[in-house]
Amino acid sequence: MSVAHQLTPYLKQLRLSGILDTLEVRNQQAIAEQWSHLEFLTRLVQDEVERRGQKQLDLRVRRSGISPAKTLESFDFGFNPTINRQQVYDLATCEFVRARRNALICGQTGVGKSHLAQSVAHEAARKGFDVLFTSAQAMLSQIHAGRADGTYERRLAGYLKPHLLLIDDFGLKPLPQPCGPADLFDVIDGRYEKASIVLTSNRSPSEWHDLFGDPLLASAGLDRLAHRAIVVLITGQSYRLAQPPEGAEGALFAPPASPRGGNRR
């Protein structure tokens, strides 16, 4: 009877059945390398701790809504050399999350704002923080729907609870009326100095005030959002438009080349 077969019922009873994944390998390694009993036990416990940590990370990422593929490792910094790498890696340390500060990532469509925001969220998840990723439009629609079924407070609380809330594409569409601006203020105000927001937008911060449609609400909300915030400004061409579609030799919507010679009008 193998060691694993003997221990299986006991490990399951103790909810340590994950040890079975590496038990035979570690047993053979211990014999070959003449480990002490304590060394053998230590390696098994380390394997179980790592397995549980990875399982918890997978669960946090799955619940967060971020794409598993959007990581710092997969981001192409070479495509847009104007991006401040040091600033991005500083965000990835998640010190701003610990300090309950916000980060505002601004730039035109396609320069990598969402990818970078989700990359930071991945790092936060790896460090044990709870993360939630949503678009501004989806969040406000969800909160507003709570008014119809009596779940408004619960839905709002769902956006206040995570350590890090990623709000993508702010300003891409008008804030839904009449409650969108007020609901957005409630999210910002509810998280102010309690938990962090990463917000991405293809609009300049100077345009955000007009999106609210209410000067007082805009001033109060943006003042809280921007207080002690880290601002990342990205310029450059669109990564998506620069990728040629299948069957095309160049970018489909590349800007036309400047004319050389010929008649001018």
pLDDT of residue 14: 84
Note the pLDDT tens digit of each residue in 73-107. 999 888 888 889 999 999 999 999 999 999 999 99
pLDDT of residue 260: 46
∠ Cα 164 169 173 (to 5°):
135
Note the pLDDT tens digit of each residue in 182-207. 999 999 999 999 999 999 999 999 99
Average pLDDT, the chain: 87
Q: Which residues contact 66 (CB under 8 A, 6 or more apart)?
A: 118, 121, 122, 125, 131, 133, 166
The architecture in CATH of the region 85-238 reads: 3-Layer(aba) Sandwich (3.40)
Find, among 237, 257, 201, 231, the residue nearest to 79 by Cα: 237
Which residue reads 């967060």 in tokens? 64
Q: Domain spans of the chain? A: 7-63, 85-238
The bridge status of strand 196-201 relative to strand 103-107 is parallel
Chain centroid offset of residue 195 CA = 14
Q: pTM for the complete prediction? A: 0.75
pLDDT of residue 24: 86
Distance CA 78, CA 225 (A): 31
| Range with lowest mean pLDDT among 26-40, 157-171, 214-228 | 26-40
Please give the residue that has the higher pLDDT: either 91 or 238. 91
